[in-house]
């Protein structure tokens, strides 16, 4: 029951946390992002590292979109501007930059989850 309440709170927070009028991305602690992904929630994991970094290991089902390509390619890669997007990089700097760029492009449910160096789950190659 407690696990259900925690999941309900997280999903409710995600859905209420950002609106189209809010150009600021949210921040989600990486352990909460892990739990959300593990629950099977419908989220997009956006890895904004370089292709070389991505190929050394990434979260399963993550989409690669390097931070320097966000402005040019985000609307082609991320088709639903209202989707929950969890942005990750190596240490947390690029994910913060990318999340802000996405919010400025009109994406409404963007969350910076920090760096893959802190990821508590499995990494796939």
Catalytic residues: 89
DSSP the chain: -HHHHHHHHHHHHHHHH--TT--S-EE--HHHHHHHHHTT--EEEEE-S-HHHHHH-B-TTPEE--GGGHHHHHHHH---TTSEEEEEESSSHHHHHHHHHHHHTT-SEEEEEEEGGG--S--B-
């Amino acid at each position: 029951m407690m696990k259900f309440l925690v999941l309900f709170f997280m999903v409710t927070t995600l859905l209420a946390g950002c609106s189209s009028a809010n150009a600021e991305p949210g921040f989600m602690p990486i352990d909460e992002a892990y739990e959300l992904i593990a629950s099977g929630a419908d989220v997009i994991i956006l890895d904004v590292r370089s292709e070389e970094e991505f190929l050394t290991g990434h979260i399963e089902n993550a989409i690669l979109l390097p931070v320097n390509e966000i402005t040019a390619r985000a609307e082609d890669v991320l088709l639903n501007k209202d989707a929950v997007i969890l942005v990750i990089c190596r240490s947390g700097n690029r994910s913060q930059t990318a999340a802000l760029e996405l919010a400025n492009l009109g994406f409404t449910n963007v969350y910076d989850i920090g760096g893959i160096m802190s990821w508590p789950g499995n990494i796939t190659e």
